[in-house]
Amino acid sequence: MSRAWSVTAAVVSAALTAVAAPAAATASPGRGQATAPQCAPARPATDFYAGGRVASQPLIVPRSACSTISVSHIRDVADASDRCQTFLVGFFPADGSAATYTDPVTACAERPSTRTVLASGVPDGAVYRVLYAVEYIEPTIQQVRYTVWH
Tell me the per-residue pLDDT of 46-77, one tens digit each, with 9 for 90 and over.
999 999 999 999 999 999 899 999 999 999 99
Helix (H, G, I), strand (E, B) or coil at 37: helix
Tell me the per-residue pLDDT of 68-124, one tens digit each, with 9 for 90 and over.
999 999 999 999 999 999 999 999 998 989 999 999 999 999 887 899 999 999 999
Helix (H, G, I), strand (E, B) or coil at 38: helix
Integer CA distances (angstroms), 140 to 43, 59, 133, 135, 136, in order: 21, 25, 14, 11, 8
Prediction pTM value: 0.74
Q: What is the pLDDT of residue 118?
A: 98
In the chain, where the domains are located: 9-149
Which residues sit opposite 92 in a β-bridge? none
